[in-house]
Amino acid sequence: MYTLLIGNKNYSSWSLRPWLALHAFAIPFHEERFVFDTPEFAAEIQSRKRSPNGRVPCLIDGDTVIWDSLAIIEYLDELHSGLWPASTAARAHARSAAAEMHSGFGALRHWMPMNVRRSYPIATPRADVKADIDRIQALWGEARAKFCANGAFLYGDFSLADCYYAPVAFRFATYDVKLNAVSAAYVNAMLAHPSMQQWAADARAEKEIVDHEEPEYLYERSAS
């Protein structure tokens, strides 16, 4: 059975992606959660004792260790197949979309960190954040228009591409981002997915608060 090392569910967007892939596709796994900014996290993760790059997520499969979220979901697809969209064109688009999320959208990531249990409406996002939001909505709209004959997700049926944009769905809800009709319907579908609801319930049950992951910390510092 796989072991997945993750961080706080309230904050760790990177951990959410492979966790959701495993949970949504009913692939058996054992999770080990490590709380950020604790001696245990430092000893087990940051020391590289359990994770080669000192970060989460990290997937352990016997003697095989995979320490990057995109590599993890590709590894899962190799072993379980069918986790990406079925058609070659849709699969290529979905992989490109996931890679863009993996390497881009830095402003959104910085100024709208994932915080599942909070509501922190921002009436007017910064210009760089707005540009990221617009690009994401354009990408979602293209996926839905070109590759989604039916189904509520980016490429119709739930796929690894949805796992990659799952943290964005939580972010858009937390910060009450104003979306077009296509994007709003997609976010609603994502938030209603049983595996997303399980993650959200777990996140809201967490007691730990990491100050530098909270919106007030970020926005108070930017205003000072």
Domain boundaries, the chain: 2-80, 88-203
* Strand runs labelled E in 96-203: none
In this predicted structure, the answer to whether residue 136 has a pLDDT above a threshold of 60 is yes
Alpha carbons 72 and 60: distance in angstroms, whole number: 10
> In the structure, what pLDDT confidence band is assigned to residue 224 with cuts at 50, 70 and 90?
low
Q: Tens of pLDDT along 162-199?
A: 999 999 999 999 999 999 999 999 999 999 999 999 99
CA dihedral angle for residue 146, residue 150, residue 152, residue 157, rounded to 10 degrees: -90
220 pLDDT above the threshold of 90: no
DSSP structural state of residue 212 = G
Give the integer Cα–Cα distance in Å for 152 and 186: 7
Average pLDDT over residues 24-40: 97
For range 84-112, the mean pLDDT: 97
pTM of the model: 0.96
pLDDT, mean over the chain: 96
Same fold, 2-80 and 88-203: no
In the prediction, which pLDDT does 189 show? 98
Which helix (H) or strand (E) segment holds residue 5: the answer is strand 2-6
What does the angle CA 207 – CA 57 – CA 133 come to, to the nearest 5 degrees? 85
Cα(18)–Cα(97) distance, rounded to whole angstroms? 16
We find that the CATH architecture of domain 88-203 is Up-down Bundle (1.20)
Which comes out higher in pLDDT, residue 217 or 25?
25
2-80: in CATH 3.40.50.1820: no
**What pLDDT shows up at residue 76?**
98
Query: Does residue 222 surpass a pLDDT of 80?
Result: no
User: Rounded distance, CA 149 to CA 168, Å?
Assistant: 23
